[in-house]
Structure 1
């Protein structure tokens, strides 16, 4: 059976060329180039964009202790900072250049194993401006201490401001106070104005075991003076340091650091004649009377000389100008006598005592420790007397000669005596 004749395939017809105007081709080419340039620019901008970095939220303050004596610390939380910025902080072109210069052939290895945020954080550190003696209401400031800030800005794609970080304290506990002078007593010893003070009955339990005391003016004391005692410690004289130590250990500090005590009960040397008790004055006058009775009985011949009378007319009291432990008391008498050569005569004599002092309200004086003037006088006859012709001579001897070193108090007043004068005796004859 005859085969069917297959039709011969037709040769492919060439496609017709697109009839695009050359002007349109130029426009399309320009747009494509612009897109490529824009993409490159955008990529360049993105790759060089600096990441804004802040630090304040990573600075933590910790304050503890008691108001006025607290302690403060602060730290920069690098771990949290690195965690938050690990995918954000990148090394800059300048930074990569620096790494290449530093590590050479190891550059790729270093870059692959480096966390830019961690390297950036290594340079961040600071400190606070106050660490102790902190009070509620204080403002503590974290101050950044970065020496290579310019390098950080150059080597990393970051932008930042290094501002100080402030914290206002409010979390400290209130401090307690106690009476540091509880049970403390002072004993005053010696004789005014040279008394001394000594501490008695100092407590030593608990917080008091950490205290000692210092008497600021312990010597040269007289009654009525004020003595100041201050709280201190054997291992420090710094009050702030001691306060801080007590606050940390006990939560308390002294309510007062100093206390004044009034000096009282000291024996004291008499400074005015009026201070001498009457019984003491009577005893000294009796000593003078006993002396004269003995003197006349022993040395005077009653046939030719007699003591007609003796009258106490007052005293001179010498008080040392500088601190001293003595005073001198001169009891002055007007003496009336008679002798067969001069007739009736009047003269003055003194008896001197020293170291008169008041002890517990009583006057202490050694009645056996006295002296009588050794000056003697004559009235033109055959006899002489121990004494002075007038009060001016007595004053000169007792007072004037000692004014360089002593002040004085005087109650001396001359008196008219009842003894007959020489003129009166002659008239009677």
Structure 2
């Protein structure tokens, strides 16, 4: 059949023209109806009819416009207006839009397939503080129950794994492998810690750090977010400051340099009664030494038990008011020296009084002293911690009928030891058991005069012989 719109040949049973898209069926029906109506009211004319082939050969043939000459029209049906050909640009636009929509759908499907639900680990951390200011503690708690619930809500594959034999650990009743178990726990395992957990004060900050494996979590389309986060310490209780050495003294006893020390706590308060102390030194102490007393308790115990903070944990105590051995000549009080000098004179006079038939002495004069102090302050010396020789000189002569020797100057050293100064400042020295040291070459009645005729010999025997054990102070002119 011929398309009534574009006059191109199409199949007889076509509803639409394949070339222009016109509705061939409706136009053909309208034309036939018009012709049938015309034939029912119009007379027959002897006009030659054109064949179908002639119509098809005449491109300008318009059957719908045919009107017989000289005949009035009867009922006439206007044929359907042919449709215009489809716009190619519009067609290409529709096709392009469809392609773009398809691409968007594909990309969306890919994004959905690769989408990972983010889990913020900070949402499950709770940091708590306890204790007293400056001694506070911090702890972090991870809400694993909520964490696992959220993971199952976020990922159906995780929920399946959680409820599978992996979490039930039915390893020997299934085909679950150790490798799959490791993968699961690598994904779910979260490590966290606090950078500081003790010795905290209100206003301090602590930081929570996380460790996790996003590569392992990717199998469940999960991505962890766990940046380090700071928390401010607050709510710690206030403390009471106390001096742990209130009412505490150090008691020194003994004689310097062999003094003993002990701590005396005079407080009756429960807190102080429970404080214990250590001494830096408790024996072999000499006057002038400083002893450091240290609190031996853990200060945090008193914070926790009594809410008390020590203002200090050490205190120095100086050894002063104790008995001591005099360590140098300048420390010998005048009355002590005079007592020793008088005793020396008495010893010398008593000696010559006992030998007055043979010898005599005149012009006694105080020459000075040898003072010796022990080098081993913590030891014990038979010869004393200190020694002092009070030295007099005198002119000795023989009083026998036949003089045994000419008048000679003799030095008479008399030794005293362990001169002590008491805590109250008074001094004491044993004046008994004293005698003249040394012996001269002046003979009389089968004996020799006590003392020394040569100062050098006297120094060697009394001082140099003891240098290994004593330090010395010598009066000028006596060496």
Same-fold status (TM-score > 0.5): yes
TM-score bracket, shorter-length normalisation: 0.7 to 0.9
Counterpart-to-counterpart distance in 2, 1:23 and 1:367 = 154
Counterpart-to-counterpart distance in 2, 1:94 and 1:17 = 59
Aligned ranges 1:61-72 → 2 under 5 Å: 61-72=127-138
**SS of the residue 2:348 aligns to:** helix
Confirm or deny that 1:126 pairs with 2:192. yes
Counterpart-to-counterpart distance in 2, 1:384 and 1:39 = 136
Q: Which residue of 2 aligns with 1:314?
A: 368
Q: Evaluate the alpha carbon distance shift between residue 310 and residue 68 of structure 1 in structure 2; reply closer, same or farther with a 3 A threshold.
A: same
Please list every run of 5 or more consecutive structure 1 residues that lacks an aligned counterpart in the other structure.
1-15, 108-118, 234-241, 415-429
Counterpart-to-counterpart distance in 2, 1:39 and 1:83 = 32
Q: Evaluate the alpha carbon distance shift between residue 345 and residue 39 of structure 1 in structure 2; reply closer, same or farther with a 3 A threshold.
A: closer
Confirm or deny that 1:51 pairs with 2:117. yes
Confirm or deny that 1:305 pairs with 2:371. no
Counterpart-to-counterpart distance in 2, 1:41 and 1:313 = 120
Q: Evaluate the alpha carbon distance shift between residue 44 and residue 412 of structure 1 in structure 2; reply closer, same or farther with a 3 A threshold.
A: closer
Quote the offset at 1:282 in angstroms.
2.7
Question: Does the 8 Å CA contact 1:177/1:255 hold for their aligned counterparts?
Answer: yes
Aligned ranges 1:388-427 → 2 under 5 Å: 388-411=452-475, 413=477
Quote the offset at 1:256 in angstroms.
0.6
Give the greater-gyration-radius structure (CA): 2
TM-score, normalised by the number of residues in structure 2: 0.67
Q: Evaluate the alpha carbon distance shift between residue 226 and residue 32 of structure 1 in structure 2; reply closer, same or farther with a 3 A threshold.
A: closer
**SS of the residue 1:130 aligns to:** coil
Counterpart-to-counterpart distance in 1, 2:474 and 2:96 = 128
Confirm or deny that 1:153 pairs with 2:218. yes
Residues 244-284 of structure 1, C-alpha deviations (whole Å, 9 max, x = no match): 22222222221011101111112111123332223322322
Aligned ranges 1:4-403 → 2 under 5 Å: 18-19=15-16, 21=18, 42=108, 45-46=111-112, 48-81=114-147, 87-91=153-157, 123-146=189-212, 149-154=214-219, 156-203=220-267, 205-233=269-297, 242-301=298-357, 305-323=359-377, 324=379, 326-339=385-398, 340=400, 341=403, 342-359=405-422, 360-378=424-442, 384-403=448-467
Q: Evaluate the alpha carbon distance shift between residue 22 and residue 49 of structure 1 in structure 2; reply closer, same or farther with a 3 A threshold.
A: farther
Quote the offset at 1:356 in angstroms.
0.8
Counterpart-to-counterpart distance in 2, 1:365 and 1:133 = 58
**SS of the residue 2:258 aligns to:** coil
Counterpart-to-counterpart distance in 2, 1:93 and 1:37 = 32
User: Quick check: 163-172 or 67-76, which moved more?
Assistant: 163-172
Q: Evaluate the alpha carbon distance shift between residue 391 and residue 405 of structure 1 in structure 2; reply closer, same or farther with a 3 A threshold.
A: same
Quote the offset at 1:127 in angstroms.
3.0
Q: Evaluate the alpha carbon distance shift between residue 275 and residue 81 of structure 1 in structure 2; reply closer, same or farther with a 3 A threshold.
A: closer
Please list every run of 5 or more consecutive structure 2 residues that lacks an aligned counterpart in the other structure.
1-12, 22-90, 175-184
Counterpart-to-counterpart distance in 2, 1:389 and 1:103 = 112
Quote the offset at 1:103 in angstroms.
8.9
**SS of the residue 2:141 aligns to:** strand
Counterpart-to-counterpart distance in 1, 2:111 and 2:468 = 101
Quote the offset at 1:72 in angstroms.
0.9
Q: Which residue of 1 aligns with 2:41?
A: none
